[in-house]
A and B are shown apart, each in its own frame.
Chain A
Amino acid sequence: MERAANLAQPRLFIKTVIARAYPRVVAQHRRERSWLLFEVILPMLAVSAYVFIYRAIGAPEAFVGFVVMGGAMTAFWMNVLWGMSSQFFWEKETGNLALYTIAPTSIMAILLGMALGGMTATLLRALAIVLLGILIFNVQFSVASFGLLFLTFTLTMVALYGMGMMTASLFLLLNREAWHLANLAQEPVYLLSGFYFPLRSFNFWVALGASIIPMSLGLDAMRQLVFPVGASLGFLSVPVELAVLAGLSAGFVIGAHYLLAYMERMSIREGRLTDRTR
Chain B
Amino acid sequence: MTAGQADMESQAISTEELGRVYKIREHKKGEPKERVALKDVNLQVGRGELFGLLGPNGAGKTTLIKILTTLLAPSSGRALVAGHDVIGEPERIRPLINMVSGGESSGYGLLTVRENLWMFSQFYGMPSRQANERIRQLLEVVGLADRLNTKTADLSTGMRQKVNVVRGFLTDPTVIFLDEPTLGLDVGAARDVRSFIRSWMQERPDRTVMLTTHYMVEADDLCDRVAIINLGKVLACDTPASLKRQLQKEAIFKLEVSPLDGNQPEVFRQIQGVKHFQHRAVDGGASLEFILENEDVLPAVVGQLTKNDIHLRNLEKREPTLEDVFVKLVGRSMEEVEGGASS
Q: Which residues of A contact B (CB under 8 A)?
A: 8, 11-12, 15-16, 18-20, 22-23, 27-28, 31-32, 94-96, 98-105, 110, 268-271, 273-274, 277-278
Contact = CB atoms under 8 A, between A and B. Distances in A.
A28 B110 contact: yes
Contact of A95 (B91, B97, B104, B110): B104
Given A15-B125, A27-B108, A104-B125, A99 B120 contact: yes
Given A11-B125, A19-B122, A105-B123, A31 B108 contact: no
Given A19-B122, A23-B119, A101 B111 contact: no
Contacts of B101: 95, 98
Interface residues of B, number: 33
Given A103-B124, A105-B125, A20 B119 contact: yes
A271 B125 contact: no
Interface in B101-143: 101, 104-108, 110-111, 115, 118-120, 122-125
A102 B111 contact: no
Among A8, A32, A271, chain B packs the most CB atoms within 10 A around the CB of A271
Interface of B: 22-24, 66, 69-73, 91, 94-95, 97-99, 101, 104-108, 110-111, 115, 118-120, 122-125, 151, 167
23 contacts: A16-B123, A19-B123, A22-B111, A22-B115, A23-B119, A27-B108, A94-B105, A95-B101, A95-B104, A98-B99, A98-B101, A102-B69, A102-B94, A103-B94, A103-B124, A104-B95, A104-B125, A105-B123, A105-B125, A268-B70, A268-B71, A271-B22, A277-B24
Given A23-B108, A27-B115, A31-B110, A100 B123 contact: yes
Contact of A94 (B71, B106, B118, B120): B106
Interface of B is mostly: mixed
Contacts of A11: 125
Given A11-B125, A27-B111, A269-B73, 19 more contacts: A22-B111, A23-B115, A31-B110, A31-B151, A95-B105, A98-B69, A99-B106, A100-B123, A102-B70, A103-B123, A104-B91, A104-B124, A268-B71, A271-B22, A271-B72, A273-B71, A274-B66, A277-B24, A278-B22
Contacts of A28: 110
Contacts of B71: 98, 101-102, 268, 273-274
B55 to A, nearest CB: 18
Contacts of A16: 122-123
Contacts of A31: 110, 151
A28 B153 CA distance: 13
Contacts of A94: 104-107
Nearest to A93: B105
Contact of A268 (B73, B97, B99): B73
Given A19-B123, A101-B71, A268-B73, A95 B98 contact: no
Contacts of A274: 66, 71-72
A271 B66 contact: yes
> Nearest 5 pairs between A and B by C-beta?
A19-B122, A103-B123, A104-B95, A95-B104, A104-B94
Given A31-B151, A104-B91, A105-B124, A95 B106 contact: yes
B23 to A, nearest CB: 8
A90 B22 CA distance: 23
A18 B122 contact: yes
Contacts of A96: 106-107
Contacts of A104: 91, 94-95, 123-125
Contacts of A19: 118-120, 122-123
Nearest to B103: A95
